[in-house]
Amino acid sequence: MLALLLLLAAAPAIEFEGRVVAIIDGDTVGVMRAGREVRIRLHGIDAPEKRQAYGRRAQDYLGEMIFKQTVRVVIRSKDRYGRSVADLYLGSKHVNQEMVRAGMAWWFRRYAPRDMELRELEERAREAGIGLWTDADAIAPWNFRKPAFGPEP
């Protein structure tokens, strides 16, 4: 079992380019690959839920940035919903980081605890009071989801 885990950890990331055909919310998109849509969950970030303050704005911001654009997808893993968890790039722009930089998403500490770049981007956005950080009492999506869906897995 340990050997399998080490082999998987050493496996190269799956990478492809595709056109963004759907913006599901502020951290999930649909990208075309080999003639079919693949659901992509942006690694290391958590955008506000659609029913939450800034949820629609985050979705719109992401759409304005990448909808109908060709992006490079670097898959890291699969989540419990079967979505590919990945980093997205539009040219040299790291889309995941741009969402946090613009104050449209949180650094998702639970799933990217060592990502100091996302940490720094969130701190800067918070200090500058941009995007969702205009609300001094902004509720992280993982806390917003708790009452309705139970604790975050």
* Distance, CA of 111 to CA of 83 (rounded, Å): 15
Q: What is the set of active-site residues?
A: 41, 49, 83
What are the residues whose beta carbons fall under 8 Å from the beta carbon of 7, sequence distance 6 or more?
none
For residue 134, the number of C-alpha atoms closer than 13 Å in the C-beta half-sphere is 8
Q: Give how far Cα 100 sits from Cα of 42, 106, 119, 120, 140, Å.
A: 11, 6, 9, 9, 13
Quote the tokens at residue 1: 């079992």
Q: Residue 108 has which token pair?
A: 């998702």
Give Cα separations from 79 to 76, 83, 86, 95 (angstroms). Answer: 10, 5, 10, 19
Tokens for 92?
Answer: 């040299």
